[in-house]
Structure 1
């Protein structure tokens, strides 16, 4: 019988594989056409797609690690493996952006060539494929709460933006060559520099979000109100003193303190705590619940 976690793993893994295959094809097409058509912007875009391959492989590894059950060393599970993977992808994206920027700046001090029309067709093809991959992965990532897949999806969206910039740069460069406007020919490496800026900005944003989620981020009150209400419905719970839901990758670990009648037995208090845990665990997003029983006081 297939569990929700097994289904999630299969879907997210499929998303990662689609990313790997798609990026390999795009990287090869753009690199070959970019070199043949003398387009630095397209070659830079090809490097960006090649980095996506590494990113998608990292997602695949992270998703597999996150699926591992809790053990003695990791009693809360391995859910943060995906968030760590998201950080790795963001760092990789940042490094690629810097590399593209350096190469684009160097181009202004070297002989420049007018790109061929084949570069235009390759970029348009890339934009269509990348937009499809972004929409597919962002929907899948949000549905299954996968930080790694969402980060990888935005990696694809950054490719769309970079390809649009490359398209404008290549088009302007070809126009400059046709009309003999020398300065316009430099629009191609200028587009490469713009692409690098977009990539670096995207990497910084995604990396910051992933680091925030790694540092035991707890859900805000508005996100835990439903859990609070469910706990209060349990017979014997007189008050919820505290409820903390810590994000642990694609699931949360709940720490809750409930107040009960101070005159009941320890066994009765334990049973109430067990009912609270079972009730909250009905939500598939909740991986584990740690219940602390307090004596109720009106003071």
Structure 2
């Protein structure tokens, strides 16, 4: 468990440092070159830094062991961090959209300088590398917060691609004296904002379902049921509820056993069910078993 959090924290620190450097670079070059799309992109990278801070806080809280006030553990702290990152994405998206839209209501913009293209290419390459690194690690260690960060990097890479098209189009428009192409830069900024907002809402929706303790779909709990039915003494599964609790799964299960066995024998079966689920499913961290007396007529 500690190794899982250590890997996630290292990845988050790497992202934070790289995003900070990219935000400064894109901000300065965006200002010098006069590119609204690049300045918007710089703001996006800066929001990544703020998001990383939230993720670090969430990871450090999630690694705490269960206590009297949190018997299920602190795993949902990662989902809280995910929602914070998502809200930052949505906020930045709206800011970029407003900034870009205002250009169409004012005087015709000036095409950015070619230096902006260099900064954008560097950003695309770096952010895609960060996405691949964090996406693979997030899947490996099952971290929703790290996965949110990975998608934040991917949205930054996509926004940089849109910015590249916009800046290049604006430069070509000025060079070939096609005024309408100059508007491709703010149009790219508007397009970027929509991508960012969509990703933000998707992350909020996914993490909110976990925070609201939505149970897993039937196809996802079938492997758990197969495991339990192989436990000696289990006559029937009356109910199995499984839910995500951050990076792990909590299971509440009711099983029927022979009503004429001793309490100790029933307790042994209960323990065997719990042990089987924990042993055969690495993502399961907590199991609560309730024993019911088996009545054949209930099967009818």
Partner of 1:124: 121
DSSP-derived class of the 1:170 partner: helix
Q: Which residue of structure 2 aligns with residue 73 of structure 1?
A: 69
Residue 215 (structure 1) aligned with residue 212 (structure 2)? yes
Aligned to 2:277: 280
What SS class does the counterpart of residue 291 from structure 2 fall into?
A: strand
How far the C-alpha of 1:110 sits from its partner, in A, is 4.1
Q: Deviations over 1:182-230 (max 9, x none)?
A: 2211211111111111111111112111111211021222212222122
Structure 1 counterpart of 2:238: 241
2:210 and 2:243 in contact (8 A); partners too: no
Any idea what the Cα deviations from partners look like across 1:122-175, whole Å, max 9, x if unmatched? 001000001111111111111111111111111111111111110000001101
- The alignment covers a number of residue pairs equal to 295
In the alignment, which of 161, 171, 174 is matched to residue 177 of structure 1? Answer: 174
Distance 1:43 1:175 in 2: 20
Tell me, yes or no, if structure 1 residue 31 matches structure 2 residue 30: no
CA distance in 2, matches of 1:217, 1:140: 25
The corresponding residue for 2:287 is: 289
Deviation per CA, 1:70-118: give whole Å up to 9, x if none: 1111110111111111111111100101111111122231462221111
* RMSD after superposition: 1.1
Q: Which runs of 5+ in 1 are unaligned?
A: none
Distance in 1 between residues matched to 2:205 and 2:258, nearest whole Å: 44
Provide the TM-score with structure 1 as the length reference.
0.96
Matched residue, 1:270: 267
* Structure 2 unmatched ranges of 5 or more: none
Which among 42, 52, 59 is matched to residue 56 of structure 1? 52
Aligned equivalents of 1:182, 1:254: Cα separation in 2: 62
Match of 1:225 in 2: 222
